[in-house]
A and B are shown apart, each in its own frame.
Chain A
Amino acid sequence: MITAFLLRALDRNILIAIAALLIVAALVPVLNLLVPPTSPFHIPTYIVSLMGKYLTYAMLALALDLVWGFCGILSLGHAAFFALGGYAMGMYLARQIGARGTYGNALLPDFMVFLNWKELPWYWTGFDHFWFAALMVLAVPGLLAFVFGWFAFRSRVTGVYLSIITQAMTYALLLAFFRNEMGFGGNNGLTDFKDILGFNIQAGGTRNALFAATAVALAFSLLVASGIVRSKFGKVLVGVRDAESRTRFLGYRVENIKLFTFTVSAMMAGVAGALYVPQVGIINPGEFAPANSIEVVIWTAVGGRGTLIGPIIGAVLVNFGKSVFTAAFPEFWLFALGGLFVAVTLFLPKGIVGTWRQMRARRRETARMTAASPQAAE
């Protein structure tokens, strides 16, 4: 059953994308570790981590595409699920610091010593173990999405109203995580990480392993998303997007369909966040900023929503542009981003991949027409 589901996921484009990701996962560490720094093919370690960061963003955009591109739910709070996954990983990494913190306290993270706390809050229990943290990376964003979606979809909140409450959700989390009393490091968040699974987090080998893990996780997410989209369930999803009431009158439980997709997407975003934190070395409440979630929407729109591969390309391209642009003209980046969104909406409403597919389909159609009726073409 599962095999049939996954096999159906592999159409040609998805297969190429997955193969490309797996090749990148193997090739980049080779070019970093085995090729000498004097060679033009050498990739410096900081670039490896930068690319790893792009790929976690790509995974977040892919997660958004599942709900927005296929189910029509414009979530403007997806960065919240990303940040929650990031915090779960950050808590594990913070526990690994042990007595090597500034205050040398083996029992408490630095910020708790600073706040004069005497013992670890109950909700930090278990985060010493990687497996527990990994579970929470999926469970916390998934549970929030489930509870949020349960109420929102059951009450039939749709369209712009749903988008607004997702913004409110991420903003509320931003304010909550800023508070020191919450016990997540307040304003500063969690940082100064030392080890992950016993390996030095700064070491070149670890950085490459994290990059490879991210590329593989993205490939797997793409496989799962494609399996969902290409199943009958995926067709129902598109039905909900295009004609919700028709789907309902055919006897489908629209709220359950949305809830499932929203929860899966949130869990995917959580994993992306968990891979992001060790590669950038910090998680703080800024990740919950409403603007972050809106940026994800822009990446997805640029790449082409409803195409799965488009958002991955969009996220990588826009963030590469951001890295270049913010180095050259730091104060103009937001204008460039806004301009990009307007330009894509006006000139490439289907995004890069969508437009490309459209052109190819049109070319094939004309080829077919001329082949079928050579006289008519004259």
Chain B
Amino acid sequence: MTISKPATLLYLDGVSVSFDGFKALNSLSFVVEPGELRAIIGPNGAGKTTMMDIITGKTRPDSGEVFFEGQIDLTKKDEAEIAQLGIGRKFQKPTVFESHTVWDNLELALNRKRGVFATLFYRLSSQDRARIEEILATVRLTSRASDLAANLSHGQKQWLEIGMLLAQEPKLLLVDEPVAGMTDSETVETAILLKEIAKTRSVVVVEHDMGFIRDLGVKVTCLAEGSVLAEGSIDFVSADQRVIENYLGR
């Protein structure tokens, strides 16, 4: 690692974790700088989702360092604390509150006090209302605000979840396969949306869709068997012999 830790937003060094003897991550080192949009590719079982689990506090690493903003040790925190620090996570399968309306989904995600009594006596302020309307417009769901999330299409659920992450106002957004199951036009729109979001915060996208990654046009990290195989532009990475063998060639 040549980059100094304090300057980074997310810093993983030598992270290993194994489940029942299977090494899901093998001394993984990886850095995200403030304001960066980064794509991660890799074959199934490369450790992409495990890496997100480690960053968001769902899984504890066996060894290695995970730091946020250079000094906050994420291995000591749980999911709720990490979310409050400003790391948002989008799941592979769209996970929204299906029995709530689109509006309520965003209201719940809004970055406000989250304690029992704060939520019991919460009243929607005009400021919060404006913020929710703004996010609705960003994720193109204004006309669906009062519909139940369960009645959205698959692509719209993905966008709603991205909208919820925006409402959280995170400094770092982890997005797991945002375009899986989307139509071509939805995929193009999602690329535009993510680039828009990345203007104000760092985004890490895990994706299989190479066309989508090309659309994003950002630095790519290829994982395989729990560690970094290659890192660089999409053309550089896809020309790498080991990447072709491990991933693209299959």
Contacts and interface: CB of A to CB of B under 8 A. Distances in A.
Interface of A: 1, 4-5, 228, 231-233, 235-236, 238-239, 242-243, 245-254, 256-257, 260
Contacts of B84: 251
Contacts of A1: 121
Given A228-B120, A239-B100, 11 more contacts: A1-B121, A4-B121, A4-B123, A5-B120, A236-B119, A248-B80, A250-B164, A250-B168, A253-B80, A254-B80, A260-B116
Contacts of B56: 249
B109 A250 contact: yes
Nearest to A2: B121
B236 interface: no
A232 B107 contact: yes
A254 B111 CA distance: 16
Contact of A248 (B83, B88, B98, B122): B83
Contacts of A254: 80
Contacts of A245: 58, 79, 91, 95
Nearest to B81: A251
B223 to A, nearest CB: 22
Contacts of B164: 250
Nearest to A239: B97
B18 interface: no
Given A248-B83, A251-B114, A252-B114, A239 B108 contact: yes
B122 A242 contact: no
Q: Which 5 A-B pairs have the closest CB atoms?
A: A251-B83, A233-B119, A232-B122, A233-B120, A251-B84
Interface in B58-98: 58, 79-80, 83-84, 88-89, 91, 95-98
B200 interface: no
Given A253-B114, A254-B80, A235 B95 contact: no
B104 interface: yes
Nearest to A250: B109
Interface in B166-203: 168
A252 B114 CA distance: 6
10 contacts: A232-B108, A236-B108, A249-B56, A249-B79, A250-B114, A251-B80, A251-B83, A253-B114, A253-B115, A256-B115
Contact of A242 (B88, B98, B109, B116): B98
A250 B90 CA distance: 10
A254 B119 CA distance: 13
B146 interface: no
B99 interface: yes
Interface in B30-62: 56, 58
Interface string B107-142: 111010011100111110000000000000000000
Contacts of A242: 97-99
Contacts of A235: 97, 100, 104, 107-108
A168 B25 CA distance: 40
B249 to A, nearest CB: 35
A252 B120 contact: no
Contacts of A247: 108
A257 B109 CA distance: 16
B79 to A, nearest CB: 4
Nearest to B111: A251
A231 B80 contact: no
B219 to A, nearest CB: 25
A33 to B, nearest CB: 40
Residue among A1, A5, A246, A249 with max Cβ neighbours from chain B (10 Å): A249
B95 A232 contact: no
A369 to B, nearest CB: 15
A252 B95 contact: no
Contacts of B104: 235
B152 to A, nearest CB: 14
A1 B109 CA distance: 23
B121 A238 contact: no
A1 B118 CA distance: 11
A249 B88 contact: yes
A232 B104 CA distance: 9
A292 B119 CA distance: 34
Nearest to A253: B80
A204 to B, nearest CB: 41
Contacts of B98: 242-243
Interface string B238-249: 000000000000
B121 A246 contact: no
A246 B88 CA distance: 10
A243 B108 contact: no
Given A238-B100, A248-B79, A249-B89, A231 B95 contact: no
Contacts of A252: 80, 114
